[in-house]
Amino acid sequence: MGTQELPVIGGVSDLEDRLDSETDKSFIEKSTDWYFAPKSFERSGKLYEALGVRQFKKLIMGTVGRLFKKMGMDETTGTYFIGKERNKKTIKQYELMARINETIHAPFTAYFGYKLAEDLGNNNYSGAIGDGIALLINGYCTMVQRYNRARVYNTLDKLAERTPAVQDNSSNL
């Protein structure tokens, strides 16, 4: 069995290029990219807006968002806000945090959906009310992340249209 050499990364920009490269991604990375990429019906955002996601987002950012800002999770970290400097790096950092937030809320959405159905089947209406509230909260949090990510992808597409790709001159050397 022969040994395989690991690729040498020259600098930070080389690493960023590799992270953006589709050829170096594993099956799991490609699968998660497919899942998290906004689908065609999500790109316009109209579906989520019709479901009241913008109003829910305003409610959350007016309450919990203020708390996050006080805790220091504001523009400087890119955790919940893109930041004042809107470049490809900060936008991609925000998109990654949207993926993490969705990864947290989506399983809870499924769990509370199951619990709601179970409680209704057992005629446990008081438990069903609590599960229904938790389902709505986590479901809307998941939808907010998907709505935000669709907007991020649209922004990245527009940014790519404005800045033409830099040609690789290393092959001419």
End-to-end CA gap in the chain? 36
Give the CB-side neighbour count of residue 101, counting CA atoms within 13 A: 22
User: For residue range 98-131, what is the model confidence (pLDDT) as tens digits?
Assistant: 999 999 999 999 999 999 999 999 999 999 999 9
Long-range contacts from 92-96, C-beta under 8 angstroms, 24+ separation: 92/156, 94/148, 94/152, 95/149, 95/152, 95/153
**DSSP for residue 38:** P
39 three-state secondary structure: coil
- Quick check: 128 and 120 in contact, CB under 8 A? yes
Backbone angles phi, psi at 152, to 5 degrees: -65, -45
pLDDT at 104: 95
- pTM, to two decimals: 0.73
Kindly tell me the sign of the dihedral angle through the C-alpha atoms of 141, 142, 148, 151: negative
How far is it, in rounded angstroms, from Cα 58 to Cα 82? Answer: 16
pLDDT tens profile 48-96: 999 999 999 999 988 988 887 788 766 554 555 665 667 788 888 888 8
